[in-house]
Structure 1
Amino acid sequence: MNTKFYKALEEKKLLIAAHRGSFGGSIIDNTELSAKVAISLGADIVELDAIRSTDGVLYTYHDGGEKRSFEIDENIKTFSSKEIDELEYRNCLGEKTGQRVLRLEELFKKLKGKCFINLDRSWDYLDEVFPMIKKLGMEDQVIVKTHPTDEAFNFLKNSDIKLMYMVIASKKEDILKFMVPEINMVAAEILFTEEDAEIIDREFIEFLKEKNIKIWLNSITLGSRFNLSAHYDDNLSIEKDGEGWKWLVDRGAEIIQTDWPGLLKEFRKSL
């Protein structure tokens, strides 16, 4: 199942991951349209988020943004599927769009064969997500990621279904923990706040690459309270002709998650 992923990396050298797709105006994140825009701009991977309704239906949505998305204060994970189905997205101007929250399986079907998918925030539903991906025949397309918890480790190690996996790590131990034969770890999403952080030192990055674990770094700029890559981010890259992306690539990035896939695609041409 890893062949297509590794082949894409070999051909392109750097894969572009679009954070929740590409969105703005009345194109809403975590939707078919945002994925379609991202792919058209050059994204190789579309990152999506998962939540579950109170009656067990999986949707693609990043909870915590309900005020922006729907003008409500409640977390939609406390809603039934009937209530979620009735929600209507608002656009960047706060106007209603007529668009609804998509069920995760529905969106996966729409994206089958079109791009790689990085599934985020599904760690509480792995026992449901894994069989769904297998049923859809998308094992070579979806990379599931989790934080380095014992619960995730035990599930992945003991699951009869093996999928491509990526750990979210801020310490070396977070990655080393998951490097066992029973877990199909193809990548590590490395978080660091300082450029001399131990987890991003060149020797360790080369060690991971020798083990065929691909390096995912983030250039997304989520706001002033976030620092995912020592501030070598999209904003710096746009302001200073790719400076942030250049630094990430120099430190070993093989996948970069961005909110600007079209601009990163142009930068990739210089590599």
Structure 2
Amino acid sequence: MNERFYQTLEEKGFLIAAHRGSFGGSIIDNTEFSAKVAVASGADIVEMDAIKSTDGVLYAYHDGGEKRSFGIEPNIKTLSSKEIDELEYLNCLGEKTGQRVVRLEELFTRLKGKCLINLDRSWDYLDEVFPLIKKLRMEDQIIVKTHPTDEAFNFLKNSDIKLMYMVIASKKEDVLKFIDPEINMVAAELLFKEETDEIISKEFIDLLKSKNIKIWVNSITLGSRFNLSANYDDNLSIEKDGEGWKWLADHGADVIQTDWPALLKDFRNNYKK
């Protein structure tokens, strides 16, 4: 199950994850289109999000952006599948595109065999997502992640389906909690505001790597109120010749999530530690 992930990492040095795919213009995030552009731009992993309608249908979408995406106020999770199916995506100019929100199973089916996928925001639906991934036989392709909650830990430990898993954490103890023989943790997404945070210390990184747990970091620049990697982010990297990406790679990153996979690929091609 884990071989594809580890082998791709061994071949590339570090992996490039595209945040919601690559989007802009009339290419919409969390779609097959955005995944195709991301892979063509050099991404090894495409990060996608999940929500569920009021009548239980899973879709690929990151809730909270409904005004930008559709020009509506209600959260998409308050809508039925009939209502969601009728929504039409707007492009970056606010013009209608004719594109619709894709159901999660359909998106997975379209992407089967084409790239690694990191499934975000599915933690409320693990009991539905895990059987879906198994049914589609995509266990070697999809990494599921959650925050370090007791509910997630208990589900993962007791589930008969053992998928690739990544915990999202800003504290060492939250990562250590999920190192369990019953949990197939292949990576940890580390969040840190300062270079001196314990979770990004060499000692802790070395400990995780000794257990074959890979290090995922985020260079995405989400706005001034977000600081996911001590501000070693995409904007710094683009402005200053890869400075942010170099710091992350030098400090042990096995996966860097970005909104600019083509630029990060160019950096990786020339990277020397």
Q: TM-score, normalised by structure 1?
A: 1.00
Instruction: Indicate the residue corresponding to 2:218 in structure 1.
Output: 218
Instruction: Indicate the residue corresponding to 2:203 in structure 1.
Output: 203
Instruction: Indicate the residue corresponding to 1:30 in structure 2.
Output: 30
Q: For 1:256 and 1:201, how far apart are their aligned partners in 2?
A: 17
Please list every run of 5 or more consecutive structure 2 residues that lacks an aligned counterpart in the other structure.
Answer: none
Instruction: Indicate the residue corresponding to 1:250 in structure 2.
Output: 250
Q: For 1:37 and 1:7, how far apart are their aligned partners in 2?
A: 23
Q: For 2:31 and 2:180, how far apart are their aligned partners in 1?
A: 34
Q: For 1:174 and 1:101, how far apart are their aligned partners in 2?
A: 34
CA RMSD of aligned residues (A): 0.4
Q: For 1:256 and 1:234, how far apart are their aligned partners in 2?
A: 10
Superposed structure 1 runs of 4+ greater than 4 Å apart: none
User: 1:192 deviation in Å?
Assistant: 0.3
Instruction: Indicate the residue corresponding to 1:188 in structure 2.
Output: 188
User: 1:212 deviation in Å?
Assistant: 0.2
User: 1:238 deviation in Å?
Assistant: 0.1
Question: Which residue identity is paired with 1:44?
Answer: D
Please list every run of 5 or more consecutive structure 1 residues that lacks an aligned counterpart in the other structure.
Answer: none
User: 1:99 deviation in Å?
Assistant: 0.3
Secondary structure (helix, strand or coil) at the match of 2:270 reads coil
Q: For 1:200 and 1:174, how far apart are their aligned partners in 2?
A: 13
Question: 2:114 matched to 1:114?
Answer: yes
User: 1:256 deviation in Å?
Assistant: 0.2
Q: For 1:48 and 1:92, how far apart are their aligned partners in 2?
A: 19
Deviations 1:175-202 (A, max 9, x none): 0000000000000000000111011000
Q: For 1:3 and 1:243, how far apart are their aligned partners in 2?
A: 31
User: 1:170 deviation in Å?
Assistant: 0.2
Deviations 1:73-117 (A, max 9, x none): 100100000000000000000011000000000000000000000
Q: For 2:141 and 2:175, how far apart are their aligned partners in 1?
A: 22
Q: For 2:32 and 2:8, how far apart are their aligned partners in 1?
A: 22
Instruction: Indicate the residue corresponding to 1:68 in structure 2.
Output: 68
Secondary structure (helix, strand or coil) at the match of 1:129 reads helix
User: 1:4 deviation in Å?
Assistant: 1.0
Instruction: Indicate the residue corresponding to 1:144 in structure 2.
Output: 144
Secondary structure (helix, strand or coil) at the match of 1:269 reads helix
User: 1:229 deviation in Å?
Assistant: 0.2
Secondary structure (helix, strand or coil) at the match of 1:224 reads coil
Q: For 2:39 and 2:200, how far apart are their aligned partners in 1?
A: 29
Question: 2:94 matched to 1:94?
Answer: yes
Question: Which residue identity is paired with 2:105?
Answer: E
User: 1:270 deviation in Å?
Assistant: 1.4
Q: For 1:228 and 1:93, how far apart are their aligned partners in 2?
A: 28
Question: Which residue identity is paired with 1:228?
Answer: L
Deviations 1:2-50 (A, max 9, x none): 0111111111111000000000000000001000000000100000000
User: 1:210 deviation in Å?
Assistant: 0.7
Instruction: Indicate the residue corresponding to 2:104 in structure 1.
Output: 104
Instruction: Indicate the residue corresponding to 1:40 in structure 2.
Output: 40
Secondary structure (helix, strand or coil) at the match of 2:257 reads strand
Instruction: Indicate the residue corresponding to 1:168 in structure 2.
Output: 168
Instruction: Indicate the residue corresponding to 2:231 in structure 1.
Output: 231
Question: Which residue identity is paired with 1:55?
Answer: D
| Identity, % of aligned positions | 82
Question: 2:82 matched to 1:56?
Answer: no
Count of residues in Structure 1 that have an aligned counterpart in Structure 2: 271
Q: For 1:129 and 1:122, how far apart are their aligned partners in 2?
A: 7
